[in-house]
Structure 1
Amino acid sequence: MKALQAILDLSVLVYTIFIVLLLTSVLDENTIFAIDSENQALILYKILVSAGILLMLVRLLANHLHIAAFKYDRHRAQLTINNLKADLYEKRQAFRSNRNKGSYSEEEAEIPN
């Protein structure tokens, strides 16, 4: 999951840099994409916006899945902790009950009838 997030973060960064360079006219869309008319330029910008939206949605979905995995892992860890606490409680109760049985039997042995 971390590798997917790293790839998506890198893709978003590269996409953002490309769009900024394209919008500031450092890169010329006419020479890069061989655009002849303004209609083709408009279609290019629509495609770039659509690709950006899709990239952000995929990144959002990956982040949501990553958070859900963390919540699930935390839930599983909490269940494990609760089970260990229950086992410890049962062992303490058994130890106390055995210790109390042993002390009563010793006391009863000392008391003459």
Structure 2
Amino acid sequence: MKALKAFLDFLVISYIVFTVLLLTSVLNENTILDINSEEQVLLLYKAIVAVGGVIMFARLLANHLYVADLKHEQHLAQLKINGLKADLYEKRQEFRSNSYRPQAEEPEAEVRLLKQA
């Protein structure tokens, strides 16, 4: 997705440069495209506008898909973090419940105390 986005960005920049050079008469459409009449020049400009619209729309869609993909990856990472936090909480609770047992539960300690008395 990132490669498609980069390619479309390059395509948009090259389109803009070509259009600006054509409109400022640095590039002459008569010599480049062998255009002789006013109708052909008008058709060329209509084609340039149509191609520009399609390129911009494709770029808009690619950017939207790229952002949606990033949000999905972030959501999956957040779910994984929440799962790890839940596991850690359960392990802490298990550790706390095991380490704070009263000593009366150990039968050997009671036997030793009774023998000493």
**Shared fold (TM-score, shorter chain, > 0.5):** yes
CA distance in 1, matches of 2:13, 2:104: 74
Using the TM superposition, give the Cα deviation of residue 30 of structure 1 relative to its aligned residue in structure 2, in angstroms: 1.4
1:90 has 2:90 as partner: yes
Given the superposition, is the C-alpha separation of residues 31 and 87 from structure 1 closer, same or farther in structure 2, using an over 3 Å criterion? Answer: same
In structure 2, the partner of 1:2 is: 2
Q: Please say which of residues 35-44 and 15-24 is displaced more in the overlay.
A: 35-44
The reply to whether residue 53 of structure 1 matches residue 53 of structure 2 is yes
How many residues end up aligned between the 2 structures?
112
Quote the RMSD (CA, aligned, Å): 2.0
Aligned identity (percent) is 57
* Equivalent position SS for 1:89: helix
- Which structure's CA Rg is the greater one? 2
Q: Give the structure 1 partner of residue 24 of structure 2.
A: 24
Q: Which runs of 4+ in 1 moved over 6 A?
A: none
1-structure distance, mates of 2:7, 2:43: 27
**What one-letter code is carried by the residue in structure 2 that aligns with 1:29?**
E
Relative to structure 1, the CA distance from residue 3 to residue 33 in structure 2 (aligned partners, 3 Å threshold; closer, same or farther) is same
Unaligned runs of at least 5 residues, structure 1: none
Which runs of 5 or more structure 2 residues have no equivalent in the other structure? none
